[in-house]
Amino acid sequence: MKYETDLPVMLPLKRHQSEPFLGLKSKHILTVALIAIIGPCVAFAQAPSGQESPLAVLLNWAPLLLKGFIFNLIISISAMAFGTAIGAILGLGQISLIAATRHSSWFVTQFFRNAPWLVLLFFAMFLLPFEINVFGFKIPFPDWLKAILGLSLPVMANVSEIVRGAVRSLPSGQWEAAESLAYTRMQTLWLIILPQCVKRMLPPWMNLYSILTMATVLASIVGVSEVMTLTGQALASEGGRPELLAPFYGFVLLLFFIYCYPIARFTVWLEKKYAVIN
Partner 1 sequence: MSWTTADPMVSLKDVHKSFGELKVLNGVSLDVMKGDVICIIGPSGSGKSTLIRCINALNDIQQGSILVEGQEVNDPKVDKLELRKKVGMVFQQYNLFPHKTALQNVMMAPVRVLKQDKVKVEEVARALIKKVRLEGKENAYPGELSGGQQQRVAIARSLAMQPDVILFDEVTAALDPETVGEVLQTIKDLAEDGMTCILVTHEMAFAREVADHIYFTDRGVIVEHGPPETFFQNAQDPRTKEFLSQIL
Q: Which spans of this chain sit near partner 1 (rule: CB under 8 A)?
A: 171, 173-174, 176-177, 179-184, 187, 191-192, 195-196, 277
CB of 273 to partner 1, least distance (A): 14
Question: Residue 259 Cβ, how far from partner 1 at the closest point, in Å?
Answer: 32
In whole angstroms, give the CA distance from residue 106 to residue 96. Answer: 10
Q: Residue 40 contacts by C-beta under 8 Å, 6 or more apart in sequence?
A: 54, 55, 58, 246, 247
User: For partner 1, which is the closer residue by CB, 67 or 168?
Assistant: 168
Q: Which is nearer to partner 1, 82 or 183 (CB)?
A: 183
CB neighbourhood size of 68 (10 A): 24
The smaller minimum CB distance to partner 1, of residues 136 and 171, is found at 171
* Burial class, 233, CB count within 10 angstroms (exposed 0-12 / middle 13-18 / buried 19+): middle
Amino acid at 10: M
Distance of CA 69 to CAs 23, 64, 75, 78, 130, Å? 25, 9, 10, 14, 24
> What's the CA gap between 163 and 194, in Å, rounded?
9
- Tell me how far, at minimum, the Cβ of 196 lies from partner 1, in Å: 5
Residue nearer to partner 1 on the CB measure, 31 or 187: 187
CB within 8 Å of 127: residues ≥ 6 apart: none
φ and ψ of 171, to 5 deg: -60, 145
Task: For partner 1, give the closer residue by CB, 52 or 179.
Answer: 179
CB of 203 to partner 1, least distance (A): 17
Report the nearest approach of partner 1 to the CB of residue 182 (Å). 4
Cβ atoms within 10 Å, residue 79: 26
- CA–centroid distance for 271 within its chain: 17
- Pick the closer one to partner 1 by CB: 128 or 170: 170
Closest approach of Cβ 277 to partner 1, in Å?
7
SS3 of residue 95 by DSSP: coil
Q: How far is the CB of 188 from partner 1 (least distance, A)?
A: 10
